[in-house]
Chains A and B, each alone.
Chain A
Amino acid sequence: MDWLRDIIDYVPANIDQLRELTGNHLVQAILPIIFGVLLAVPLAQLARQNRSLAGIMLTGSSILYTIPSLAMFVFLPLILGTSILSMVNVVVALTIYAIALLMRSTVDALNSIDDGVRQAAVAMGYRPLRRFLTVDLPLSVPVLIAGVRVISVTNIATVSVGALIGVPSLGRLFTDGLTRNYPEQIAVGIIFTLLLALVLDLLLVLLERLLTPWTRPTKASEADDVALDARTVAA
């Protein structure tokens, strides 16, 4: 089991480099998720309101998704005027993928809301923007987060590709390990990537539970807390 010892020993010996690469990796994986959600939700709502626009947007985003990530990383600096080594290229590319993937699932999520609920919101006197933000959006959170979970895993994987052209991320452990014929380094890269994907996914599951308390039966203690809260408010 010497190879296992070698892998374990690699971590403390290179802790500073690992910390920096993990940080870079996370930034490149998480920022596109945030930008993707912020852009895909309004675009999806736009697509729902205009059917011909929806066709163009959904087809267009599917085509964008087929562009290989490496091609995108190389091509984007030409458009953006950024350095080829800049993390911005990766963030922009992954944001485009995130929008492409999220837009369709967000349209589905918004369409899946019970028509009775939407009718009721109109009848209660909601104006469109408030209804979208406080009724439609919260109700589409479960489907939205399902899409985000897919993106978070693919992002963690795809960020590594940037290392091929020199953008710093955990992918550098693969490129370095390959050139130096250092399998322990590659193994550490794989383990760290897996751990990141797992932790991020776990956080998203927790986020969903936090945002959608109505989707599961209330525990007695929780119910009591809320009731108590309401009572103090009433008093």
Chain B
Amino acid sequence: MTSSEQAERRTMIEFRNVTKSYDAGRPAVDDLTLAIERGRITVFVGPSGCGKTTSLRMINRMVEPTSGQILLDGQDVAQQKAAELRRSMGYVMQSSGLMPHRTVLDNIATVPRLNGVARSAARARAKELLDVVGLASELGSRYPGQLSGGQQQRVGVARALAADPPVLLMDEPFSAVDPVVRAELQAELIRLQNDLAKTIVFVTHDIDEATILGDKVAVLAVGGRLAQYAAPEEILRAPVDDFVAGFVGRDRGFRHLSFLDGDHVTIHPIETIETSQLADPTVSVRSPWTLLVDPEGRPHGWIPAATRASITSQAEAVPGGSLYTRGGSLRSALDAALSSPSGLGVTIDDDGRAVGVVRPAEVFDLIEAGRLDRGRDHFNTAV
């Protein structure tokens, strides 16, 4: 197999010089050429007016391009019947877009029903999908108006998956829910994608979301110009121009640490005291800062040596910072160290038990060592 044939097999969706202009004004999408890889998450990110949603909607012909071609698995989408084409792709939108007059199950069953699957079979499949997206089966008989925003988005994802399409189009699906639910939904999508390996095109205006979810990120500038198309790590580390650098934001140096793994961070042992021992004044502490843990070993704050004598209950302990899960990224290691009142980042294992602490200076050393390595790789010099 030649390398170009291999590239073709890897490509699921291809934009070829696609332009969309409305009336005489500036184009919404300007000469977009882009190959979207099979089985990966590709994120279109950019400020409002950059044509990211328009680009997404041209894939399933909800918007027709003014010029250029879009190929799905090598076939021009313009040659395919719009309704059939749309049924072959899952679509998730910002407001969940669920049918208010249909139960959750019937909403999920929409596309299979359109494809002529019997009602009973479509509902049975819908019930399975409730479980896949983490919803209780009792919710199946409710109407969308009786669900929370996060639950509605999950139903939206289940509906998109119902006909088992190879392609999922997601148009800012998590932007209308609160940050906590959004983080949950993002984690859930990554988990689902590990099982399903769909070709996902995901639109967002949030660069953080783009770098968390994307295997590849396309940064679009106002006027529908593709500014940079690369792995998220590369976009954070090496923005191609001032627009991308500005869009990625001031924290990009810190965010980039998300992509450096913390396997080499040294975890130091730390003196601990159990919550049950607090009330007993004869249990003293030696270190300047002692970690308070419960009987299962989970951290619950810090006991400074200076005030040990006055602390008799868990409520009086100094609250801890963020926790670093062993093996996580350097970003979370550094954040744990910086947010900790003791200056020591509490490290936990996968069960939440404290296993030790990381020191900020050592995390910095690792960051610096990584930077020197990359400098040698890219520029043949240590920078």
Mark A residues whose CB is within 8 Å of B: 114, 116-117, 119-127, 130, 135, 138-139, 212-214, 217-218, 223, 226-227, 230, 233-234
Is A127 a contact partner of B83 (Cβ separation < 8 A)? yes
- 24 A-B pairs in the complex with CB atoms less than 8 angstroms apart: A114-B95, A116-B97, A117-B100, A119-B62, A120-B93, A121-B99, A122-B86, A123-B169, A124-B114, A125-B86, A126-B83, A126-B114, A130-B114, A138-B101, A214-B101, A214-B102, A214-B144, A217-B146, A218-B141, A218-B142, A226-B141, A230-B105, A230-B123, A234-B120
Is B101 a contact partner of A123 (Cβ separation < 8 A)? no
Band of interface residues on B: 35 or more
Shortest B174–chain A CB gap in Å is 15
Complex Cα spacing A116 to B95, Å: 7
Interfacial chain A residues near B140, Cβ < 8 Å: 226-227, 230
Q: B111 at interface (Cβ–Cβ under 8 A)?
A: yes
Is A214 a contact partner of B145 (Cβ separation < 8 A)? yes
Interfacial chain A residues near B362, Cβ < 8 Å: none
Complex Cα spacing A68 to B110, Å: 48
Complex Cα spacing A218 to B100, Å: 13
Interfacial chain B residues near A139, Cβ < 8 Å: 100-101
- The 0/1 profile, CB within 8 Å of A marked 1, for residues 135-162 of chain B is 0011011111110000000000001000
Interface centre among A119, A130, A212, A226 (most CB of B within 10 A): A119
Is B127 a contact partner of A125 (Cβ separation < 8 A)? no
Complex Cα spacing A234 to B109, Å: 13
- The 0/1 profile, CB within 8 Å of A marked 1, for residues 114-138 of chain B is 1000011001100100000000011
Q: What 6 additional pairs, Cβ within 8 angstroms, besides A124-B114, A125-B87, A135-B99?
A: A116-B94, A123-B169, A214-B144, A223-B138, A223-B142, A226-B103
Interfacial chain A residues near B127, Cβ < 8 Å: 230, 234
Complex Cα spacing A217 to B120, Å: 25
Is A227 a contact partner of B97 (Cβ separation < 8 A)? no
Complex Cα spacing A234 to B138, Å: 14
Shortest A91–chain B CB gap in Å is 32
Shortest B129–chain A CB gap in Å is 12
Q: In chain B between 81 and 99, which residues have their CB closer than 8 angstroms to a CB of chain A? A: 82-87, 91, 93-99
Interfacial chain B residues near A120, Cβ < 8 Å: 91, 93, 96-99
Is B93 a contact partner of A116 (Cβ separation < 8 A)? yes
Task: Identify whether the interface residues of A are mostly helix, strand, loop, or mixed.
Answer: helix
Q: In chain B between 167 and 200, which residues have their CB closer than 8 angstroms to a CB of chain A? A: 169
Complex Cα spacing A196 to B159, Å: 46
- Picked from A117, A138, A218, the residue with its CB within 8 Å of the CB of B146 is A218
Is B83 a contact partner of A234 (Cβ separation < 8 A)? no
Interfacial chain B residues near A119, Cβ < 8 Å: 62, 93, 97
A233 — nearest CB in chain B belongs to which residue?
Answer: B120
Q: B60 at interface (Cβ–Cβ under 8 A)?
A: yes
Mark B residues whose CB is within 8 Å of A: 60, 62, 82-87, 91, 93-103, 105, 110-111, 114, 119-120, 123-124, 127, 137-138, 140-146, 159, 169
Is A223 a contact partner of B86 (Cβ separation < 8 A)? no
Shortest B377–chain A CB gap in Å is 43
- Picked from B111, B138, B159, the residue with its CB within 8 Å of the CB of A227 is B138
Is A117 a contact partner of B143 (Cβ separation < 8 A)? no
Complex Cα spacing A123 to B97, Å: 10
Is A227 a contact partner of B141 (Cβ separation < 8 A)? yes
Shortest A168–chain B CB gap in Å is 41
Is A230 a contact partner of B141 (Cβ separation < 8 A)? yes
Shortest B123–chain A CB gap in Å is 5
Is A233 a contact partner of B138 (Cβ separation < 8 A)? no
Interfacial chain A residues near B99, Cβ < 8 Å: 117, 120-121, 135
Is A117 a contact partner of B84 (Cβ separation < 8 A)? no
Assuming the A-B contacts A117-B99, A135-B99, A234-B123, are A123 and B62 also in contact, with contact meaning beta carbons closer than 8 angstroms in the complex?
yes
For the complex of A and B, list the 7 residue pairs with the smallest distance between their C-beta atoms, beginning with the closest.
Answer: A120-B97, A125-B87, A226-B141, A125-B86, A123-B91, A214-B143, A116-B95
A127 — nearest CB in chain B belongs to which residue?
Answer: B83
Interfacial chain B residues near A114, Cβ < 8 Å: 95, 100
- Picked from A125, A226, A230, the residue with its CB within 8 Å of the CB of B83 is A125
Complex Cα spacing A120 to B173, Å: 12
Complex Cα spacing A230 to B128, Å: 12
Complex Cα spacing A230 to B107, Å: 14
Is B141 a contact partner of A117 (Cβ separation < 8 A)? no
Shortest A118–chain B CB gap in Å is 9
Is A123 a contact partner of B93 (Cβ separation < 8 A)? yes
Is A125 a contact partner of B124 (Cβ separation < 8 A)? no
A135 — nearest CB in chain B belongs to which residue?
Answer: B99
Complex Cα spacing A141 to B146, Å: 20
Interfacial chain A residues near B96, Cβ < 8 Å: 116, 120
- Picked from A124, A212, A227, A234, the residue with its CB within 8 Å of the CB of B86 is A124
Is B101 a contact partner of A124 (Cβ separation < 8 A)? no
- Picked from B62, B124, B137, B141, the residue with its CB within 8 Å of the CB of A122 is B62
A128 — nearest CB in chain B belongs to which residue?
Answer: B83
Complex Cα spacing A7 to B97, Å: 58
